[in-house]
Amino acid sequence: MLWEVMGLASKREGAKISALEAKTNWKLEDAQGDIRELQHEIEQLNLMVKALATICQQNGVFTENQFKDLVDFIDIQDGVLDGKSKKEVQPRTCPKCNRQNQRLARKCMWCEADL
Ligand SMILES: [Zn+2]
């Protein structure tokens, strides 16, 4: 009897573990898909920036050094010279009371209207 109960319990645990593994694999595949999509978008942006920089240089809009100086100038505006530019965080304006709210807020903190 004890062995039968333990066997049933371990079968149930096994089924739970299998379900959890399937769910985890699904989430992992989903994340891998997101990463592939982001890599594709980065490569497209890289291509566009190279094309724009090349045509501007060919037409005498700026030299390569002027471009690099401008990149550094824009890079340092977020406070860190790290080869990246953080997205500017714009506050959200309430459509009802016109007051400012945090960018990710869903409800106005002043009048509770939906943002
Ligand atoms: Zn409001």
**CA 113/CA 25 separation, integer angstroms:** 39
Q: Rounded to the nearest whole angstrom, what is the distance from the C-alpha of residue 89 to the centroid of ligand 1?
A: 19
CA dihedral 100, 106, 108, 113 (to 10 degrees): 130
Q: Rounded to the nearest whole angstrom, what is the distance from the C-alpha of residue 92 to the centroid of ligand 1?
A: 10
Q: Rounded to the nearest whole angstrom, what is the distance from the C-alpha of residue 96 to the centroid of ligand 1?
A: 5
* Domain ranges within the chain, ordered by starting residue: 2-83, 85-115
CA dihedral 48, 53, 54, 58 (to 10 degrees): 140
DSSP-derived 3-state class of residue 61: coil
**CA 13/CA 4 separation, integer angstroms:** 14
Q: Report percent pLDDT > 70 for the chain.
A: 97
Is residue 88 scored above 80 in pLDDT?
no
The pTM (predicted TM-score) of the whole model is 0.55
Looking at residues 43-68, what average pLDDT do you find? 95
Q: Rounded to the nearest whole angstrom, what is the distance from the C-alpha of residue 86 to the centroid of ligand 1?
A: 27
